[in-house]
């Protein structure tokens, strides 16, 4: 049975003190909730120890927002998958549209990062999705297919079972413009059909596909009710414990 997952992406937000308050608040609230989803918290790198330590004794998993595509050595400012593993990080976001846009990450580089994470037993949360022009010109399925094939389809069946996919239409990220339930389900079903063609039905049915893009306490229930939507990657709404909890409780 595939897992429901709600992952919070804090991006480049919060001071250490606010991050400390937020993660403790979430952990405390999670204690009194009957969870129907795995919860992942992805803070900025300097706060990883804070979240990964607390994750050991709480009902959430530690995640990171990025990883280097190199193993180790003279790569100033980078953080390797081995470093993340040594800090008990369970998940890592890769291929977020902000990294593709501002740091020119390519599908090939993302594929390298995914391979490194899997070698170190960290589950990649692989993001893909089209920009507005691509949707408006009807190219969204082709774009998503290319991203999927170029970043994931070098993996074996065994490897891909440890990958989480997050469909994030770029026009919906941080804009308050959520994809409709129909648009989300349609793309998730398409992604699953491509996984089915490549890896077979049994594997395709096991892979969690999350939706991301202005998902909030109000729209999460409807989005998560779709057959192929297995949770959410949450940006803005993960920065408030109550909102994040409300999303988690939408399952
Ligand atoms: C994200 O950053 O992955 C995201 C979905 O952001 P937001 O929820 O703020 O749109």
Q: In the 8-state DSSP scheme, what is residue 113?
A: H
Active site annotation includes 134 = no
Could you identify the atom of ligand 1 that is nearest to the CA of residue 173?
10
Question: H or E segment at 29?
Answer: helix 16-31
Q: Ligand 1 centroid vs 97 CA: distance in angstroms?
A: 10
Q: Give the pLDDT score at 1.
A: 86
What pairs with residue 110 in β-bridges? none
Active site annotation includes 150 = no
Does residue 52 line the site of ligand 1, with CB under 6 A? Answer: no
Q: How many residues does this entry show for the chain? A: 251
Range of the domain at 142: 5-248
Q: Ligand 1 centroid vs 171 CA: distance in angstroms?
A: 10
Could you identify the atom of ligand 1 that is nearest to the CA of residue 172?
10
Identify the CA nearest to 11 among candidates 238, 248, 163: 238
Could you identify the atom of ligand 1 that is nearest to the CA of residue 237?
8
| Overall domain count for the chain | 1
Spatial distance between the Cα atoms of 218 and 101, rounded to a whole number of angstroms: 28
Q: Give the pLDDT score at 171.
A: 95
Q: Which residues contact 27 (CB under 8 A, 6 or more apart)?
A: 54, 58, 59, 60
- Tell me the CATH number at 113: 3.20.20.70
Spatial distance between the Cα atoms of 173 and 1, rounded to a whole number of angstroms: 29
Positions of the chain with pLDDT lower than 70, given as ranges = none
Does residue 234 line the site of ligand 1, with CB under 6 A? Answer: yes
Tens of pLDDT, residue by residue over 75-133, are: 999 999 999 999 999 999 999 999 999 999 999 999 999 999 999 999 999 999 999 99
């Amino acid at each position: 049975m595939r897992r429901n997952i709600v992952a919070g992406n804090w991006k480049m937000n919060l001071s250490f003190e606010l991050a400390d308050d937020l993660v403790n608040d979430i952990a405390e609230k999670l204690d009194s909730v009957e969870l129907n989803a795995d919860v992942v918290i992805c803070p900025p790198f300097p706060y990883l120890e804070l979240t990964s330590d607390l994750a050991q004794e709480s009902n959430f998993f530690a995640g990171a927002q990025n990883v280097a595509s190199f193993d180790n050595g003279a790569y100033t400012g980078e953080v390797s998958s081995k470093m993340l593993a040594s800090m008990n990080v369970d998940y890592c976001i890769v291929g977020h549209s902000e990294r593709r846009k501002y740091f020119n990450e390519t599908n090939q580089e993302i594929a390298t990062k995914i391979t490194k994470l899997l070698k170190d037993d960290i589950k990649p949360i692989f993001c893909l999705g089209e920009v507005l022009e691509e949707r408006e010109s009807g190219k969204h399925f082709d774009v998503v297919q290319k991203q999927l094939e170029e970043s994931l389809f070098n993996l074996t069946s065994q490897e891909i079972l440890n990958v989480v996919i997050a469909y994030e239409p770029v026009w919906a990220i941080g804009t308050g413009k959520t994809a409709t339930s129909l648009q989300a389900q349609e793309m998730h079903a398409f992604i699953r059909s491509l996984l089915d063609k490549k890896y077979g039905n049994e594997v395709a049915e096991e892979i969690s596909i999350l939706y991301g893009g202005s998902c909030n306490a109000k729209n999460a229930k409807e989005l998560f009710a779709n057959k192929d939507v297995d949770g959410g990657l949450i940006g803005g709404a993960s920065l408030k414990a109550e909102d994040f909890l409300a999303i988690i409780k939408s399952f």
